[in-house]
Structure 1
Amino acid sequence: MWTNKLLIYFCLVLAMIFWGFSFVGTKISLDGNIQPITLVLIRLIVSGIFMLILTRSLGILQNIKKKDIKWFLLIAFFEPLCYFLGETYGLQLVTSTLGAVLISTIPLFVPWAAWIVFREKVSFLNLLGIVISIVGVLLIIFEPNISFNVSLLGIALLFIAVLSAVGYTMVLRHIIKTYSPVTIITWQNILGIFAFVPLFFVCDVHLFNISLFTPKIIITILCLGIFPSSLSYVFYSYAVKEFGVNRSTVFTNLIPVITAIFAYIIMDEELPLLKVAGILVVIFALFIS
């Protein structure tokens, strides 16, 4: 029993490490002038190929039942479509650390969504956590002279990603009882490819430049496709199946910390004391909620 729990905890920590890197990897790619939709599409193609090879070779890919097609279309609408549009365009306008902090507020909203969808009660600590997290985000957004230092549009786009992730979690809770995590992730990313191909031809094809894909960018996108876009979702879905939604989402507290460390080491992003305080306040809010 304890061995199984330790395995789930280990998988969750790995998922958060990969997702923590995702913000830095995405920022590196965007700074290399890769267009957002192009980046997401290639990332999904890498993930789709990786997951198909994995599931087919192990013989563990389940077929979708006709009655469940609508659920898979809905889960793909939330993630990867809406989530990655919000996250990737948002990260064009804000730092990877701020992006990770905003995304890490997902657990604060999951209980409210569970109340609306499943009529689960929202506790006082959930409400208190949301209020405190807002204070933390303000510490990150504002400089000491009380002036904005980030894009409001970027923040709005990232909150679209947050709401998409909440919707994704609600649908995941429904279908995880019937389908394995690897099956869900494989099909959601394949459906995501079909969603992003038309967007690529409408928005990005005229800006596509093969010379931008340097070895650094190629390695970064491959890592994004395999680790955060594939393995993180598999590990997280496995945890949701075993631990439940609320207990699993608490681990996203780790994402801004991991992202800040990666950004500081890899991208030389500044991490002043005020922003550190904001990160800690958000993490504290997540834990008490």
Structure 2
Amino acid sequence: MGERTGKLPYILAVINAVIIGLSFLLVKLTLQYAAPLDTLTYRFAAAFCIMIIPIAAGFVKLNYRGKPLHLLLLLATFYPVGYFMLQTYGLQFATSAEGGIISAFTPVATLVLASIFLGETTTPLQKLCILLSTAGVSFIFVMKGSSIDLSQTSGIVLLVAACIVFAGYSVLARVVTRHFTVAEISCFMVGAAFVSLLLYSLSVHSFSGTLPAFVSPLTNATFVACILCLGAVQLVTALLANYILSRIEASKMSAFANLSTVVSIASGAFFLQETVTWYHLLGSFLIIAGVIGSNVALSRRRSATYRKQLESQA
């Protein structure tokens, strides 16, 4: 499939990062009422319910007949099921700051996997800019007094696995989008996550005798409102991510991933009056510079390729 060189995928990649960054506010609010795993389950339950409406109304057509469902199942196993499960359990044995530092290396992991399995190529400048963006995220967390505690081995291993799994999703999605529409991929992913997480949460609460704790947050109107918003966000970001990956290379999309950190810092300062320090600003500058630099390098590369094509035709 030829690469489409329009600007829309890149604009949507920025919008996607902004939405994800803003969603951290809603996640913080929901965690006041429910455990992380329960919140995640309700989040995908809401996304699934929202998704069913246009499908039932006939506005969205799905057709999985005769298509390689094993690829779609593998994709959903990577993300969201595998990624969120690994991340959730990883954060039980490691700090959220450690999770932030490790997740910042997801674009690097994506770059490596895309090069190995898809043959995607990037210039040295693009690689440098992606590393610059990753360094910006890591710098913010390190300056906050955070570091990676290697004694918490199990948590670190799970978080690194989550990073690799998400990178694997980004790479595999490039293949899956050749066989399925964006809607088919997104609906299958959300549905698989909803069923898997619901069964797992019910099993955990049943064995521990805490089913009332699982249900009780639904009596809180604020929690329900936040979960519905998160469900809509989950569905929208799934659609955007799959669309973007159907149009541009995985390594190029990965450059935008760390922008969500900048958005979460800005939204936390604006809405929650969280303190923004000099290292937040410097780290954000590094992230933005890395994203802009990688795309400037991409534009120059395309211009050079286009000039060579014109010269060969002359």
- TM-score for the superposition, normalised by structure 1: 0.80
Superposed CA deviations along residues 83-131 of structure 1, whole A, max 9, x for unmatched, are: 2224455677426xx8677645533332211111123335423543465
Q: Distance in 1 between matches of 2:28 and 2:49?
A: 23
C-alpha root-mean-square deviation of aligned residues, in Å?
A: 3.2
* 1:258 equivalent among 253, 260, 263: 263
Q: 1:163 to 1:27 in 2, by over 3 A?
A: farther
Confirm or deny: 8 A CA contact 2:259 2:287 kept in the other structure: no
TM alignment of 1:54-93, pairs within 5 A: 54-65=54-65, 68-88=68-88, 93=95
Is the alpha carbon distance of 1:136 and 1:106 closer, same or farther for their aligned partners in structure 2, counting shifts above 3 Å? same
- Give the drift of 1:241: 2.1
Asked if 2 retains the 8 angstrom alpha-carbon contact of 1:55 and 1:182, the reply is no
1:242 aligns with 2:250: no
CA–CA separation in structure 1 for the residues paired with 2:138 and 2:65: 45
Partner of 2:312: none
Tell me if 1:20 matches 2:21: yes
Distance 1:110 1:132, change over 3 A: same
List gaps (5 residues or longer) in structure 1: none
1:148 aligns with 2:153: no
Q: Which residue of 2 aligns with 1:225?
A: 231
Q: CA deviation at 1:172?
A: 0.9
Partner Cα distance (2:287, 2:48) in 1: 33
Distance 1:126 1:202, change over 3 A: farther
Q: Alignment partner of 1:74: what SS?
A: helix
Question: What corresponds to 1:43 in structure 2?
Answer: 43
User: 1:57: Cα distance to partner?
Assistant: 2.2
The one-letter amino acid of 1:223's match is: C
Q: Distance in 1 between matches of 2:88 and 2:199?
A: 17
Aligned length: 280
Is the contact made by 1:141 and 1:150 (CA closer than 8 Å) also made in structure 2? no
Q: 1:279 to 1:156 in 2, by over 3 A?
A: farther
Q: Which residue of 1 aligns with 2:177?
A: 176
Cα distance in 1, alignment partners of residues 58 and 23 from structure 2: 27
1:279 maps onto 2:277 in alignment: no
Structure 2 SS opposite 1:62: coil
In 2 relative to 1, CA 250–166 (structure 1 residues): closer, same or farther, beyond 3 Å? Answer: same
Larger deviation: 240-249 or 109-118? 240-249
Aligned residue for 1:177, secondary structure, equals coil
**1:187 paired to 2:188:** yes
Q: Distance in 2 between matches of 1:135 and 1:21?
A: 22
* Aligned mates of 2:178, 2:47 — CA distance in 1: 23
Match of residue 96 from structure 2: 94
Counterpart CA distance in 2 for 1:128 and 1:247 is 13
**Equivalent-residue separation in structure 2 for 1:9 and 1:133 (angstroms):** 16
2:136/2:285 contact within 8 Å kept: yes
Query: Structure 2 vs 1, CA of residues 34 and 287 (structure 1 numbering), >3 Å: closer, same or farther?
Result: same
Matches within 5 A, 1:94-173: 94=96, 103=103, 105-129=105-129, 131-133=131-133, 135-143=135-143, 148=146, 158-173=159-174
- My pick for the range that moved more, 129-138 or 147-156, is 147-156
- Percent sequence identity over matched residues? 22
Q: Is the 8 A contact 2:114 2:250 kept in 1?
A: no
Maintained 8 Å contact 1:100/1:255: no
Cα distance in 2 between the residues matched to 1:270 and 1:156: 31
